[in-house]
Amino acid sequence: MKHVRHGENCIWRRVDKPAAYGYHRIMKENERISALKGIGEKTEKLFQKLDVYTVGDLIRYFPHGYDVYEPPVPISEVEENHVMTVSGAIYGRVSVGGSPKLQITTSYVKDLTGTLKVVWFRMPFLKNMLAGGGQITLRGRVVRKRDGLLMEHPEIFYPPAKYREKLDSLQPVYSLAKGLTNNGIQKAVKQALSSLEFSEDVLPSYIKQEYGLMDYQEAVRGVHFPQEKELFYKARERLVFEEFFLFILSLRLSAEEKGRMLNAYCMRPQPVMDEFIQKLPFELTNAQKGAWRDVKRDMDGIHVMSRLIQGDVGSGKTIVALLAMMYAGLNGCQAVLMAPTEVLARQHFHTFEEMFRQYGIPLKVELLTGTMTAAQKRSAYERVELGLSQIVVGTHALIQKGVTYHKLALVVTDEQHRFGVKQREMLAQKGDSPHVLVMSATPIPRTLAIILYGDLDVSVMDELPKNRLPIKNCVVDTGYRATAYTFMKKQIGEGRQCYVICPMVEESENMEAENVTDYARNLQESLGGNVKVACLHGKMRQAQKDEIMLAFAQNQIQVLVSTTVIEVGIDVPNATVMLIENSERFGLAQLHQLRGRVGRGAHQSYCIFMTASKSKETKERLDILNHSNDGFHIASEDLRLRGPGDIFGIRQSGVMNFKLGDVYQDAAILQKAGEAAAKTLKKEESSSVKERFLRILWL
Ligand code: ADP
Ligand code: MG
């Protein structure tokens, strides 16, 4: 028996674990992860890249998906770009080729329906193992190479009975940083879970009871290492509920605190603005006029503005924001616009500068982003602080400590679904209760919007500019790819431009970059030398991204192959074709946003949803997009069609960036959490609720 030692931070106790684990030190959530066995300084640094610093952060570093060990499929039914399992006999000769650095073992597996080529990398010893022939089960990604489909580097189950043990189990898949493996993270989480003393459950017990929610500790375990699907759903539900509950509570409490603040900014009429609107190359839509009227009324009113403009993609929200910012600027105040990506911030910056120059508006625009050099930032800070620039556009860099504003009267956030309320508040706190304007292209059904945006007045822009032709859509399988390329070529011949959203690779971000580059190279080959194809992905340096976006905007590049980094906001009206590969992997709302990159000008635009999936559900989902260009309709259909099963495979809609919860998918939980938050506030004094949640809420 080992000694049991008590100490301040260091208590030893026996835990219910296999003998091999022996004794575990009991840990607290705020301990550094280097307290875990096997995590040294180097690994700790890698985890920090994932924002995991403490043991508590680690157990809240949830898997982004699960590997489901599904039953084997007949070889004739394997699908390109999917991880699949097949079971059959090893067929023919096993050979080892490739180079000494990268040996490639090649074999074939055969069942009653067909034969599939299989390759492994750097595992020449497999030759002997497989040479004996016999039945085998393989699980790996199926890809298309020149000579047809093949399975790459599969996991081997030999004999196949070994697979049966894993069948239907869920293996957590974590997002990785370079140098960390999925297995490594799994191990660290396991260790943390077995030695952690959990802090007190934040959900009041009456809420847990009423809504049938499990304990925090059990839920965390259940989400990392689900024993079975049903328990996983319950575990996830509990954590999502908590996430929504805290979010709604913080909204309500801060709204209560602020009350309706008085408007300290006196705005005088600005005749220049009406002239500006008159001179625009287009007439504002009625929806734009209405939104601007609402905003102006707020800014002239007794109370500070808190307004959300909700308008479908392409409805022209930017110009409304610009008007509001101009109004503040011409009145001697400052206005700030925060965009979620650097690409988008720069686009707005250029648009505004160009418009002011063209129409002789005497306002100066400043850009403030994270990738600017220290010297550039310093001089920008200075101009902002002295009030030499009236309009400031940027990314998160706008809320950094070093930035001081000068009479900041208006704060605008574009594509709000990318920000938390927290960032919006932080920006607002940079001023002295400035007006707040939030712009969102995410058509959230009204019932949910009331919960999520309870603190805002809403203007809806439900009209597209008159010159727009509805986008023509089609849903096709991968056999149509060549035809799609020909079509793109024809459009380019007519002077137009195209986007291609590349297939996604889940494994690692590095592969994503490689994938986009490869795809672009192949596409360049198919389209020929007269067309310029370029690619864009998250791993590129900002300067490179800017260069490419600028060249695309000026039509020096005709086809942009990209990951979803172009999802929000980008405005190149000359682009008329959007081709989305693997469209089954996206949520409907996200697909709608992507499609919104085309159909922004007077030319007929097209969206091609490509999918290799033959499933009926996929067809049904994509059909909704095929037949509707209306974001609100799509959002409500998305809600109707999504079930808990979708948690595997489909990416989150990205609305408001919750860690686990998804506003669409978890709409029912959101409703309940809203109800529960209201009950809690009614039952308890706000001050005691606040005290209890202070640790967690950002109030
Ligand atoms: P979103 O609402 O998606 O942010 P934008 O503000 O980027 O849309 O506008 C999309 C495009 O439509 C821009 O090129 C913009 O100049 C143009 N636009 C905006 N309003 C009108 C209008 N009333 N008539 C014609 N084009 C417009
Ligand atoms: Mg926009």
Task: Give the CATH number, domain containing residue 90.
Answer: 2.40.50.140
Is residue 48 situated within a structural domain?
A: no
Which residue do the tokens 């991204």 mark?
Answer: 545
Q: Is the pTM above the cut of 0.95?
A: no
Give yes or no for residue 592 CB within 6 A of ligand 1.
Answer: no
Q: What is the mean pLDDT of each run of 10 residues along the chain (699 residues)?
A: 33 39 71 91 92 92 84 92 90 88 92 95 89 89 88 89 81 86 92 87 91 94 88 92 89 74 90 94 95 96 92 90 97 94 87 95 94 92 96 91 93 74 79 90 75 82 87 93 96 96 61 78 92 88 83 94 76 94 84 90 94 84 89 77 51 62 83 92 77 55
Among the bound ligands, name the one nearest to the CA of residue 289: 1
333 vs 264: CA distance, rounded Å: 11
Q: Determine contact, residues 419/338, Cβ cutoff 8 Å.
A: yes
- The ligand that comes nearest to the alpha carbon of residue 443 is 1
Q: For ligand 1, is residue 571 a contact (CB within 6 Å)?
A: yes
Rounded-to-integer distance, Cα 113 and Cα 318, Å = 56
CA of 221 to the centre of ligand 2 (A): 40
What is the C-alpha separation between 239 and 543, in angstroms, rounded?
39
The answer to whether position 692 is within a domain reads no
Residue 660: its pLDDT value, please? 83
In whole angstroms, give the CA distance from residue 151 to residue 80. 9
Pick the closest to residue 599 from 316, 289, 280 (CA basis).
316
Nearest CA to ligand 1 atom 15: 316
3-class SS of residue 508: coil
Residue 525: the pLDDT is 94
Cross-strand bridge partners of residue 25: 12
Residue 157 lies in a domain: yes
In a domain, 638, yes or no: no
Collect all residues with Cβ–Cβ distance below 8 Å to 10 and sequence separation of at least 6: 25
Domain boundary among 150, 167, 184: 167
Q: How far, in Å, are 251, 255, 260, 380, 678 from residue 685 at the CA level?
A: 16, 15, 20, 45, 12
Look-up: residue for tokens 């439900």?
Answer: 462
Taking the centre of ligand 1 as the mean of its atom positions, its distance from the CA of residue 117, in whole angstroms, is: 50
* Whether residue 432 sits in one domain with residue 344: yes
Whole-angstrom CA distances from 248 to 203, 678, 687 are 13, 9, 16
User: What CATH number does the domain containing 598 carry?
Assistant: 3.40.50.300
| Per-residue CA distances from 578 to 159, 280, 566 (Å) | 46, 28, 11
Rounded CA-CA distance 302/289 in Å is 22
Q: Is there a single domain that holds both residue 299 and residue 426?
A: yes
240: DSSP letter: H
Distance 631 CA to ligand 2 centre (A): 14
**Is any ligand 1 atom within 6 A of the Cβ of residue 286?**
no
Residues 530 and 622 both lie in one domain: yes
The verdict on residue 560 lying in a domain is yes
| Residue 693 β-bridge partners | none
| Nearest Cα to Cα of residue 336 among 371, 372, 380 | 380
pLDDT at 58: 95
Please indicate, yes or no, whether residues 480 and 601 belong to a single structural domain of this protein. yes
Q: What angle do CA 538, 541, 544 make, to 5 degrees?
A: 105
d(CA 24, CA 12): 6
Q: Are residues 360 and 501 both part of a single domain? A: no
**Is the C-beta atom of 416 inside 6 A of ligand 1?**
no
CA of 296 to the centre of ligand 1 (A): 20
Burial (CB count <10 Å: 0-12, 13-18, 19+), residue 554: exposed
Ligand 1 neighbour 282 (Cβ under 6 A): yes
* Residue 362, domain extent: 287-461
Which-ligand-closest: CA of 341? Answer: 2
Do both 444 and 507 map to the same domain? no
Predicted confidence at residue 396, as pLDDT, reads 86
Distance CA 36, CA 25 (A): 9
Q: Which residues contact 525 (CB under 8 A, 6 or more apart)?
A: none
Sheet architecture: strand order including 575-580 = 472-477, 606-611, 575-580, 497-501, 559-562, 533-536
Ligand 1 mean position to 666 CA, how many Å?
32
Ligand nearest to the CA of 416: 2
**Do 496 and 603 share a domain, yes or no?**
yes
How many helices (DSSP H) and strands (DSSP E) are in the chain? 23, 22
Residue nearest to atom 17 of ligand 1 (CA): 316
- Any idea which residue has 């063209």 for tokens? 358
Tell me: do 429 and 378 sit in the same domain.
yes
C-alpha of residue 402 to centroid of ligand 2, in Å? 27
8 A C-beta contact, residue 215 and residue 191: no
DSSP state of 21: G
Position 513 in a domain: yes
| Last residue in a domain, options 115, 135, 167 | 167
Q: Which long-range contacts (CB under 8 A, 24 or more apart) does 143-151 make?
A: 143/80, 143/81, 144/80, 144/81, 147/117, 148/117, 149/78, 149/80, 149/116, 149/117, 150/116, 150/117, 150/118, 150/119, 151/78, 151/84, 151/86, 151/109, 151/116, 151/117, 151/118, 151/119
Structure-token pair, residue 74: 């007949």
Question: Are both 433 and 477 inside the same structural domain?
Answer: no
Choose which residue among 279, 280, 282 to substitute to test ligand 1 binding: the one with the highest number of ligand atoms within 8 A of its C-beta.
282
Q: Is the domain of 504 the same as that of 552?
A: yes
Q: How far is the CA of 371 from the centre of ligand 1 (A)?
A: 28
Distance (Å) from CA 306 to ligand 1 centroid: 23
Atom number, ligand 1, closest to the C-alpha of residue 311? 2
Report the nearest atom of ligand 1 relative to the CA of 313.
3
Is residue 247 in some structural domain?
no
Q: Do 494 and 406 lie in a common domain?
A: no
Angle at CA of residue 551, ends 374 and 414, nearest 5°: 60
Report the distance separating Cα 5 and Cα 355, nearest Å: 71
Cβ contact 310:459 at 8 Å = yes
Torsion of the alpha carbons at 508, 509, 514 and 516, rounded to the nearest 10 = 120
Q: What's the distance, CA 17 to chain centroid?
A: 37
Tell me, yes or no, whether 160 and 137 share the same domain: yes
Ligand 1 centroid – CA 462 distance (Å): 13
State residue 567's pLDDT score. Answer: 59
- Torsions phi, psi for 379 (to 5 deg): -70, -30
- Tell me if 600 CB under 6 Å of ligand 1: yes
Q: Whose CA is nearest to atom 24 of ligand 1?
A: 465
CB distance 319 to ligand 1 below 6 Å: yes
Largest Cα–Cα separation, the chain: 88
Contact 355 CB / ligand 1 (< 6 Å): no
Total domains present in the chain: 3
What pLDDT does residue 8 have?
Answer: 32
Q: With respect to residue 369, please indicate whether it lies within any of the assigned structural domains.
A: yes
600 Cα nearest atom in ligand 1:
11
Residue 446: left (phi > 0), alpha (psi -120 to 50), or beta? Answer: alpha
Q: How far is the CA of 305 from the centre of ligand 2 (A)?
A: 20
Tell me what pLDDT residue 503 has. 67
